[in-house]
């Protein structure tokens, strides 16, 4: 089965997603089917709908990074959903896994979201040297990651601040 193309509310193509993900977005009223595979239907438990070839998001989402995904501090925080890579609490800073003092650079695979406390505690040491293992490995975000993260961020922005802080 081919992947489903996702359009922004503005009809601008964003990314492809798996069929499962496309069906979930439609069932959650986050997207509408623009084009279907003729004659094919998704049938499961309480679901019976055409197999979407193209879906379009109901609301415009601002995607934080594009195909080339240039590195940025903001992009790292969005990629890691503002969760500290060392303790899982809310992160507001970006930490260099291999510190700049040891030659580590500004790129996706060497940077993680971090709370200010852990960033300060780790200082100019690697996670091994500091005895602070990473909860997850940094990765280079794909256009699909970028779109799904933008959808999540759009949901959070509809929540009251105190709750949005929890969800982040």
- The smaller minimum CB distance to Zn ion, of residues 51 and 115, is found at 115
List residues binding Zn ion (CB under 5 A): 84, 86-87, 115, 118
Three-state helix/strand/coil letters over the chain: CCCEEEECCCCCEEEEECHHHHHHHHHCCCEEEEEEEEEEEEEECCEEEEEEEEEEECCCCCCCCCCCCCCCHHHHHHHCCCECCCCCCECCEEEECCCHHHCCCCCHHHEEEECHHHHHHHCCCCHHHHCCCCCCCCCCCCHHHHHHHHHHHHHHCCCCHHHHHHHC
The distance of closest approach from Cβ of residue 95 to Zn ion in the complex, given in angstroms and rounded to an integer, is: 9
CB of 31 vs Zn ion, minimal distance in Å: 34
Which of residues 65 and 86 has its CB atom nearest to Zn ion in the complex? 86
Residue 37 or 121: which CB sits closer to Zn ion? 121
Q: Rounded to the nearest whole angstrom, what is the least distance from the CB of residue 110 to Zn ion in the complex?
A: 18
Closer residue to Zn ion, CB minimum distance, 115 or 146: 115
CB closer to Zn ion out of 101 and 134 = 134
Residue 89 Cβ, how far from Zn ion at the closest point, in Å?
Answer: 5
Q: How near is the Cβ of 54 to Zn ion at its closest, in Å? A: 41
Q: Which of 150, 127, 144 is nearest to 17 (CA)?
A: 144
């Amino acid at each position: 089965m081919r992947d489903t193309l996702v359009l922004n509310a503005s009809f601008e193509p964003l990314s492809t997603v798996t069929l499962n993900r496309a069906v979930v977005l439609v069932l959650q009223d986050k997207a509408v089917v623009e084009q279907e595979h003729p004659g094919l239907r998704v049938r499961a438990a309480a679901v019976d709908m055409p197999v979407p070839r193209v879906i379009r998001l109901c609301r415009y989402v601002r995607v934080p990074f594009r195909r080339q995904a240039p590195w940025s501090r903001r992009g790292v925080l969005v990629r890691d959903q503002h969760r500290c890579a060392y303790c899982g609490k809310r992160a507001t800073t970006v930490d260099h896994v291999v510190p700049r003092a040891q030659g580590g650079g500004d790129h996706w695979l060497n940077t993680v979201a971090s709370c200010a406390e852990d960033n300060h505690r780790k200082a100019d040491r690697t996670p091994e040297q500091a005895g602070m293992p990473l909860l997850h490995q940094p990765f280079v975000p794909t256009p699909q990651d970028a779109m799904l993260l933008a959808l999540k961020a759009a949901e959070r922005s509809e929540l009251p601040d105190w709750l949005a802080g929890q969800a982040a």
